[in-house]
């Protein structure tokens, strides 16, 4: 009898063990999600196909018609474009993250996690880490495709790695936005739709696909102060690609610092809101 009692007590929730336990629990949840992704290969495949299609379509359909600075050269636009495509790819992963969390909520998996002796925020942190790994894989494949179609880096390997680091930081930040949306809706379909509604204006009212100096003044100001634009501009500078901004807006003059600051603020704000929403949803 005492053995059974001890087992029941051991199975019950235990108080959190601080930052160390939170990190361990987050990594366990991340491993679980990564294993799940490998068992559903179409998730990874479809995540790779869409950005590759964007590269090919924008490069060959719009390549000769977009004016960058004083030229409409297809080669110039090709190199101008890639930073925007990379940034769009990491941010569009947000919709999938939100849908995944909404699906876990809908199936009751979050309630099962809640019954375990684990840190509360670890469920969301582990999920976002797994999504970050998948995003990094997609970004690697996309970079290879970009090199094949003619994109080149001109500032060295170290700066290129720094640019990809900024891209992953932005993607991780926006994943927390997706996590909050996923916790706030009832179905995965609603999470996907809710994620895309705000992603399209964020990515297209920016300097990702067109030179912002060609926009009307009020729209140019919106684009110049867009966090997405700061990361795109920072990547262009670190890659040595065309598209140096003539804007006097602070994020365009200091894009690397602006990108880091924007991403960190988004992570802190939306992680706080998402964990609070998670606790209230499972209370």
Q: What confidence tens digit (pLDDT) does each residue in 79-110 have?
A: 888 999 999 989 988 877 787 788 777 776 66
pLDDT of 45 strictly over 80:
no
pLDDT of 2 strictly over 50:
no
Determine the pLDDT at residue 234: 96
Does the residue 143 lie in any domain?
Answer: yes
Q: Which residue has the higher pLDDT, 45 or 109?
A: 45
Number of domains in the chain: 1
Q: Which of 133, 154, 134 is CA-nearest to residue 82? A: 154
Q: Which domain holds residue 194?
A: 17-281
Inter-residue contact 97 to 179 (CB < 8 Å): yes
Report residue 101 as tokens: 């969390």
List strand residue ranges (DSSP E) for the chain, in order. none
Determine the pLDDT at residue 251: 94
Does the residue 125 lie in any domain?
Answer: yes
Does the residue 1 lie in any domain?
Answer: no
Q: Which residue has the higher pLDDT, 283 or 38?
A: 38
């Amino acid at each position: 009898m005492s053995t059974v009692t001890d087992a029941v007590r051991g199975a019950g929730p235990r108080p959190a063990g601080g930052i160390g336990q939170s990190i361990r629990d987050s990594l366990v949840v991340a491993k679980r999600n990564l294993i799940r992704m490998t068992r559903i290969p179409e998730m990874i495949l479809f995540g790779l196909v869409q950005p590759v299609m964007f590269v090919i379509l924008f490069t060959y359909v719009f390549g000769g018609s977009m004016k960058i600075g004083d030229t409409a050269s297809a080669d110039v636009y090709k190199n101008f474009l890639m930073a925007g495509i990379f940034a769009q790819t990491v941010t569009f992963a947000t919709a999938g993250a939100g849908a995944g969390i909404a699906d876990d909520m809908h199936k009751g998996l979050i309630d099962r996690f809640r019954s375990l002796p684990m840190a509360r925020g670890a469920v969301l942190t582990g999920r976002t880490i797994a999504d970050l790994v998948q995003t990094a894989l997609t970004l690697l494949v996309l970079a290879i495709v970009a090199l094949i179609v003619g994109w080149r880096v001109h500032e060295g390997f170290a700066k290129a790695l720094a640019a990809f680091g900024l891209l992953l930081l932005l993607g991780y930040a926006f994943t927390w936005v997706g996590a909050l949306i996923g916790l706030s809706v009832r179905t995965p379909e609603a999470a996907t739709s809710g994620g895309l509604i705000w992603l399209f204006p964020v990515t297209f009212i920016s300097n990702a696909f067109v030179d912002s100096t060609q926009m009307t003044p009020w729209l140019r100001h919106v684009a110049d102060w867009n966090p997405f634009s700061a990361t795109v501009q920072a990547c262009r500078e670190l890659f040595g690609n065309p598209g140096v901004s003539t804007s006097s807006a602070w994020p365009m003059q200091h894009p690397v610092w602006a990108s880091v600051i924007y991403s960190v603020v988004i992570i802190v704000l939306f992680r706080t809101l998402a964990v609070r929403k998670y606790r209230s949803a499972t209370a």
